[in-house]
Structure 1
Amino acid sequence: MISTALQDLFGGKAAEAVLLSVFHHGEIYGRAVSRDFAVSLDAVQRQLERFERAGTLVSKQQGRTLVYSWNPKSRLAARLRDLTGVVYDGLEQGAKEQLFAERRQPRAKDKPVIRPR
């Protein structure tokens, strides 16, 4: 597991995992974040609820799954997304590929999972 400043700022791996995942994917759900970052599902779900209570994330029901994304109406969410982007951009390409190896959406053949910037 790669550790970033987000873990130090927000006090845990679950917060870091949630923020990086929602930044990378746009929409996330707890079990996928738990699997990608090897963090307990309970810790991820608690962190998702905290971010939602704070107004930075919003959720919607898709079947039996709660899917979370950035709150488009929150100025705090926009700033948090910017901060997460700074940390995300600072990760090495290999670290991004390791953390986000599983594709969530269909892609064209040979298209990379991580877009180089």
Structure 2
Amino acid sequence: MVSTALQDLFGGKAAEAVLLSLFHHGETYGRAVARDFAVSLDAVQRQLDRFERSGTLVCKSQGRTLVYSWNPKSRLAARLRDLTGVVYDGLEPEAKEQLFAERRQPRAKDKPVIRKQ
């Protein structure tokens, strides 16, 4: 996994993984983050819970899965999303391909995984 300033700021891989995954996908769930970033599920779930308790993330149930997304009412979430965007934009294209190689939705054949901005 590529180490970024987010890991240094928040003190762990799990926080970095959650923030980058949320920025890339818009919403995510614990098992997907743990699998994509090779971080323990327990650490990811604890980090998701911390972000939710701080009001940065909101959670909804889809069946038995808890799906997390940015809290649209939180000014802190907007700033954190902006900060994560700066780090995300600074990643090399190869690093993005490595981190977000698994597709979550059906895509056209040969369409790149990285969003064009």
TM-score (normalizing by structure 2): 0.98
**SS of residue in 2 equivalent to 1:60:** strand
Structure 1 equivalent of residue 105 of structure 2: 105
Quote the Cα distance in structure 2 between the aligned partners of 1:62 and 1:73.
21
In the TM superposition, what is the alpha-carbon distance from 1:109 to its structure 2 partner? 1.7
Gaps of 5+ in 2: none
**SS of residue in 1 equivalent to 2:81:** helix
Structure 1 equivalent of residue 93 of structure 2: 93
Structure 2 equivalent of residue 70 of structure 1: 70
In the TM superposition, what is the alpha-carbon distance from 1:116 to its structure 2 partner? 4.5
Quote the Cα distance in structure 2 between the aligned partners of 1:67 and 1:17.
15
> Which residues of 2 match residues 34-53 of structure 1 at below 5 A?
34-53=34-53
What is the identity, as a one-letter code, of the residue corresponding to 1:38? A
Quote the Cα distance in structure 1 between the aligned partners of 2:95 and 2:116.
12
Quote the Cα distance in structure 1 between the aligned partners of 2:106 and 2:83.
28
In the TM superposition, what is the alpha-carbon distance from 1:11 to its structure 2 partner? 0.4
How many residues get paired? Answer: 117
Quote the Cα distance in structure 2 between the aligned partners of 1:21 and 1:100.
8
Quote the Cα distance in structure 2 between the aligned partners of 1:41 and 1:82.
26
What is the identity, as a one-letter code, of the residue corresponding to 1:6? L
Gaps of 5+ in 1: none
Quote the Cα distance in structure 1 between the aligned partners of 2:116 and 2:64.
34
State whether structure 2 residue 51 is matched by structure 1 residue 79. no
The percentage of counterpart residues that share the same residue type is 90
TM-score (normalizing by structure 1): 0.98
Aligned residues of 1:93 and 1:116 also touching (Cα < 8 A) = no
Aligned residues of 1:34 and 1:44 also touching (Cα < 8 A) = yes
Q: Residue deviations 1:48-74, cap 9 Å, x none?
A: 000000000000000000000000000
Q: Residue deviations 1:29-87, cap 9 Å, x none?
A: 00000000000000000000000000000000000000000000000000000000000
Structure 1 equivalent of residue 56 of structure 2: 56
In the TM superposition, what is the alpha-carbon distance from 1:115 to its structure 2 partner? 2.8
Cα RMSD after superposing both structures: 0.8
Over 6 Å off, 4+ runs: none
Structure 2 equivalent of residue 16 of structure 1: 16
